[in-house]
Structure 1
Amino acid sequence: MSTAAVIPPLFQGLFDDAAVFPPGNLPVADAVPAHRAHRAAWYADAVGPLLCGAGRLDELAAAARRPGPAAAQDPAPALRVGLVLPGGSPELGPALAAAAPFEVAGVELATRDAREAVAALDLLLPADVPAAVELPRELLRGDGLDEVLDVLLDSPYRAKFRTGGVVAGAFPDERELAGLLTGCARRGLPYKCTAGLHHAVRHTDAATGFEHHGFLNVLLAAQETDPAAAAEVLAERDGEALAKAVRALTDRQTTVIRNSFTAFGTCSIAEPLDDLAALGLLSPDPTPQEDR
């Protein structure tokens, strides 16, 4: 079965499965079979690895060993896992060891010192495992942003930006996020995002009042090198206007965008897919197709 024709290149591998993180908080024992279902579904090409914090890898290993109903006939492949290390470099070695039962698809390392994080990753990370480095937002303002991005540019690692959370202050505004994205775009530095992006279009959450960025806004802003232009794209709340801009993208623009904005963590896989379908950007076809 091929899903390449079902999932457009702009969205392939875009949605990292952050089901166990807030606000979803799905129990690990439930997240593992749910992730395996995602990986077997018609939309599998849109789904990245299952993200797991360093402190929950034992839970994850136990859940992964739990047999499913068809395990005896068709054993599940090793889980593709992204390691999220909020405790920084001291967690890296133990987490890699604890992740031995899994296929490690990436590492996301939080730090207050980009150079120290790069050094630790250089020392301990297998060469075939990608990594992203996340710094607190207060260190990414003014000259601090250029310094951090230049450190990462001289490394094989991506940046990671937090675009939301469980409090209003966790959401950067359009100008702040535009500065981050265009700083990377001017350098050709890839990045991933996390939190607050599970809907396609910028909106105000009716329950919390939080101002959420839309992942379509971020995708389209990823090709901009001018902060004012990027901020304008990030501020757009008209889903049809964003969908029209997506349809107008050339193959080259799509490549540029996804070489920059590589993925984001979402606690829901269904919501972004539903939004794309509602905007006419995704046409689900669950019928198996022969590879051509």
Structure 2
Amino acid sequence: MNPLFTGLLDDAAIFPPGDLPMPDAVRAHRDRRESGLAPLLGPFICTLARWDELVAATAGGPPLRVSLILPDLATELPEHPSVEIVSVEAPAVSGYGGALTAYHEILCDEITATRVAALRDAGLRLKIRTGGVRADAFPSEAQLARALWSAVRGGLSFKLTAGLHDPIRHRDPATGFEHHGYLNVILATARALQGYDIERALADQDGDRVANAVAGIDEVLVKAVRHHFVSFGTCSISQPVDGLLRFGLLEAVL
């Protein structure tokens, strides 16, 4: 499998618009861990508020690798043998000295070189929201370009969340919302590393052109791209996978 896509998909099946019941979501995630999709999977995403549901759903099975969303990165972490917390995410940071990978969510417009440097120096990563249930939750190409440029040029790793089911930038015919494409983001990250304009890469809606450009990213640049763009949360694993298959970027998986 192309290392550009290894561990790219964080499983956010319990979040809108998927809203899969916890037992179903855990069962599906475990099934995928035993399938050809396993290399694509990141951790299962869950909030602290639903910890008891998670524990009940995972009981009796192998430990589930989880990224836990907290109100603050300083929040004390729960423990249970059926859950392996591999990372934490939060919109607030009152201080964090833990050993886990930690993501601080910042509004796209508030991501600056200064804030990126502060996160990097604190040993934290960046979480960027790229969608939601309202149109204003989706940053424009220019807004996201500025955020990605700041992160890449500042040497910071980041993850994205929401609105990235489709590989290519598009307008959702049902809502009218403009969605970013995860292949566009991969390409934009590569272009930022090369010092090129990245807003154009984010805005491109020609799927074949974007996919071909992504396919042409060489091995050295792939490693650099994934050092920065770690993963994105998606309530559907099948849709992003279908997108990779559609553009010939992934071989058929079982």
SS at structure 1 position matched to 2:191: coil
* In 1: Cα distance, 2:101 partner to 2:73 partner: 15
Find the partner of 1:179 among 146, 152, 163. Answer: 146
C-alpha change, 1:89 and 1:155, in structure 2 (3 Å) is closer
1:121 match: 96
Tell me the equivalent position of 1:196. 163
CA distance in 2, matches of 1:192, 1:99: 26
Contact persistence 1:221–1:230 (CA under 8 A): yes
C-alpha deviation, 1:207, in angstroms: 0.6
Q: Could you tell me which residue of structure 2 aligns to residue 105 of structure 1?
A: 86
> Residue 197 of structure 2 aligns to a residue in which SS?
helix
Match of 1:22 in 2: 16
Q: Distance in 2 between matches of 1:89 and 1:106?
A: 10
Question: Match of 1:266, as an amino acid?
Answer: T
When residues 89 and 259 of structure 1 are mapped into structure 2, their CA distance, relative to the original with a 3 A threshold, is closer
Deviation string, structure 1 residues 242-286 (Cα, Å, up to 9, x no partner): 111012110011111101100000000000000110111111143
Alignment pair present for 1:241 and 2:185: no
- TM-superposed CA distance for 1:227, in Å, is 8.7
| Contact in 1 for aligned 2:23/2:57 (Cα 8 Å) | yes
Q: For 1:133-172, list aligned pairs within 5 A.
A: 133-140=104-111, 145-172=112-139
Per the TM alignment, residue 101 of structure 1 is displaced from its structure 2 partner at its CA by: 3.8
- How far 1:236 sits from its partner (Å)? 0.6
How far apart, CA to CA, are the structure 2 residues paired with 1:120 and 1:153? 14
**Partner amino acid for 1:131?**
A
User: Which 4+ runs in 1 deviate beyond 6 A?
Assistant: none
What code does the residue aligned with 2:101 have? P
Once the two structures are superposed, residues 92-137 of structure 1 have per-residue CA deviations (whole angstroms, 9 ceiling, x without a partner) of 20xx1245641111101112xxxxx1x6221xx2x2x211111234
Measure, in 2, the Cα distance between the counterparts of 1:138 and 1:192: 16
Shift, 1:228, TM fit: 7.4
Alignment match, 1:38: 32
TM-score, scaled relative to structure 1: 0.83
Provide the C-alpha distance between the structure 1 equivalents of 2:228 and 2:108, rounded to a whole number of angstroms. 19
The structure richer in helix per residue is 1
Partner of 1:283: 251
Equivalent-residue separation in structure 1 for 2:110 and 2:64 (angstroms): 34
Q: What is the TM-score when the length of structure 2 is the normalising length?
A: 0.94
Percent identity, aligned pairs only, is 43
Displacement of 1:150 in angstroms is 1.4
Using the alignment, how far apart are the partners of 1:177 and 1:240 within structure 2?
Answer: 22
Match of 1:79 in 2: 64
Number of residue-to-residue matches in the alignment: 253
Q: CA RMSD in A?
A: 1.7
CA distance in 1, matches of 2:215, 2:73: 41
1:267 aligns with 2:251: no
Contact 1:28–1:63 (Cα < 8 Å) also in 2: yes
Q: Secondary structure at the match of 1:32?
A: helix
Counterpart AA for 2:72:
G
In the alignment, structure 1 segments of 5+ residues that lack a partner are: 1-6, 68-75, 112-116, 287-292
Pairwise CA distance, 1:138: 4.9
Q: Which residue of 2 aligns with 1:131?
A: 102
Distance 2:185 2:81 in 1: 34
Shift of 1:157: 1.4
Structure with max Cα Rg: 1
Specify the alignment match of 2:46 in structure 1. Answer: 52
**Does structure 2 retain, via aligned residues, the 8 Å contact 1:52–1:81?**
yes
8 A Cα contact 1:28 1:59, kept in partner: yes
1:222 and 1:285 map into 2 onto residues whose CA distance is 26
